[in-house]
Structure formats: C-alpha cells, structure tokens
Amino acid sequence: MTEREANSYSPLTLAFLGDSVYDTLVREFLLRKANMPVAKLHSAKIKLVCAEFQSKAYDIVSEKLSEHETAILKRGRNATGNTVPKHADAAEYRRATALECLFGYLFLTGKNERVRELFEVIINSNIIENEQIGV
C-alpha cells in the first residue's frame, strides 16, 4: 500500500492493526527467548503489551524516528474516541495507541524491516530489564 493510501486510514484503525503486529512480535520474542508453558508465556506477554509498557516504549522509539514517522506517532497519540481501560491512565493509553498506530502504518506500507528495527530498539532497551517478565 502507498503512504498516501495508508494516510487515509484513521489513527485508531492503524492502531487496530498495529496492536496485532506488536503483539505478534512480542510473542515471537518470548518464544525465542524461552521454551516454557503457555500460561507463563501469556503472563510475560501481558507485561509487554500493556499500556504502561507501551507508553515507556513510546519514549524509547520516539528518539529514533524520522519526521514522517514522528507525525504518524503524534496522529496516533492525538486520536480521539479512545475509551481508556480502568487499569491504565489516559496519557499512557494514548501513548500506547500512538505506538500501535506507528506499527500499523509501517506494516501497512510494507516497511516490515523498519517495524522489526523499532521493535529491537524497544526489546534491547533497559525498560525490558526493569520488567519482571520471567524469561
């Protein structure tokens, strides 16, 4: 898909796709990291896909983005219509949505290498060490 076509989607629609892309990358990371029971994998995954963690990841990747990618991130952060879950605060949730929006946009435009590159930045940062994920 072209960037122009991808820009026609709402940020929340891009985040809908990006949530799945990010979730899949986390699952792959955990599976490669440790062979463990599914219940433990699920518990570890939850810690890495929650709004709090993704909000921290937002800070990590925002320093590594191009101007255009930053604009996509901001579109996601400023999207309206989010219903914030009880377990997250509004600012964290908006930043998590922004990260998912960026991942969805990059995936939709065929920039899979860039998606993996940004995910590696997150996984190799010190925020992953601060999480007690059990792998």
Three-state secondary-structure class, residue 15:
helix
Q: Is 19 a catalytic residue?
A: yes
Separation between Cα atoms, residue 101 and residue 14, nearest integer Å: 5
Q: Which tokens belong to 93?
A: 């949730």
Separation between Cα atoms, residue 123 and residue 59, nearest integer Å: 13
Three-state secondary-structure class, residue 87:
coil
CB-facing half-sphere around the CA of 56: CA atoms within 13 A: 16
Q: Which tokens belong to 23?
A: 């979730």
User: Of these residues, 19, 23, 59, 89, which one is catalytic?
Assistant: 19
CB 72 within 8 A of CB 100: no
CB 51 within 8 A of CB 85: yes
Annotated catalytic residues are 19
